[in-house]
Amino acid sequence: MCIRDRNDWVKEIPKAVLHDHLDGGLRVSTLIELAELQEYDQLPSKNQEELKEWIKPKPDKTLAINLEAWAHTIGVMQDENSIYRVTMEALEDLSNDGVVYAELRFAPLVHCQKGMTPIEVVDSVVNGIKDGMEKYNIVSGVILCGMRQEDDSQEVVDLCIEHKDVIGFDLAGPEIGFSVLNHKDACQKAYENNINVTLHADWEVPEGIQEVVLNSKAKRVGHGSQIINDIEIDNEKVKFKNDAAKHVYENKIALELCPTSNIQCGAFASIDEHSFGALYKNGFNVTINTDNRLMSDISMSEEVNNVVESFNLNENDISTITKNTIEAGFVDYNLRKKLIEE
């Protein structure tokens, strides 16, 4: 009997991603080319290998503090053509990596530095997604992010309501000192207007997941790896330390886990120590995500391969996780249905 090499089947198996930041997934070559086209002179290098090495997280320069890299990607995404191109290339790269379903997210207001209106920014991404779906045979949609440290969440929710092609609302940015409760009205408005909500909540604030789950009506949790601290495993039974963990478990709320990013941010020392394995084994609705493909120097296949190796998963496990991921998606069900049934 022929046993397939793990790298081969991981690359070939259909995959789905819910948590992928558009401005964190540019090709290095595109970043350099757009900088030249727009006369953006702030890049630390115009050499692809040097720039890739500069962006790559290092032990003394973690993902969490390497904000300058985002300043550069956002800096070259300030017109319709550049945003459209980045969107198209994202879907091309994901499709070539075996991804059949991809939700992209970004903060539209930071792309208005050179005169674009917020709705023009969103249009550029939506047009890229529509064309990319057709060209690269992938199902996709866009989530708009407000920032925890800003007071823009109401405006971003209004954009979600105005632009019917937007599939959801998110809050990103630092958690410490910027509670989701500051944006409770925006989350309520999103809920009342049938806008899907998924909010970042992970390791910076111990009560972060509780705040998100109990106060925002979120359908998913962005990251969410630290929910492992809100449960106990006793004789293979899950015991809950709070109502939020119980709610997530019993309602199968999807956790948008991003293992590589979590490690680079210092939440875990290694993939082997990541909470993914325990959460999956004990029945939580876990999904596998890249977070920022450029900043983390990771592909979806590499992300899947890492968890397969560390937690001894097989093709059936990944197929199940992929199906659950698509079922938790925000894109119109009619577009997701065929993928779920395949």
Domains of the chain: 14-335 (3.20.20.140)
Task: Determine the average pLDDT of the residues in 147-151.
Answer: 90
Task: Determine the average pLDDT of the residues in 65-82.
Answer: 90
Res 237 pLDDT > 60: yes
pLDDT attached to residue 181: 84
Residue pair 59/9 in contact by the 8 Å Cβ criterion: no
Q: How far is CA 72 from CA 2, 58, 78, 113, 271, in A?
A: 47, 18, 11, 13, 29
Which class for 2: exposed (0-12), middle (13-18), buried (19 or more C-beta within 10 A)? exposed
Task: Determine the average pLDDT of the residues in 135-161.
Answer: 96
Three-state SS at 229:
helix
Task: Determine the average pLDDT of the residues in 305-312.
Answer: 97
pLDDT attached to residue 92: 98
pLDDT attached to residue 8: 85
The tens digit of pLDDT for each residue in 182-220 reads 899 999 999 999 999 999 987 665 566 777 887 778 999
Res 2 pLDDT > 60: no
DSSP 8-state secondary structure symbol assigned to residue 110: G
Q: Which residue has the higher pLDDT, 125 or 58?
A: 125
Count CA within 13 A, CB hemisphere, residue 176: 3
Res 37 pLDDT > 90: yes
pLDDT attached to residue 59: 65
Return all residues near 33 (Cβ < 8 A) that are at least 6 apart.
Answer: none
The tens digit of pLDDT for each residue in 107-143 reads 999 999 999 999 999 999 999 999 999 999 999 999 9
The tens digit of pLDDT for each residue in 268-300 reads 999 999 999 999 999 999 999 999 999 999 999
pLDDT attached to residue 180: 84
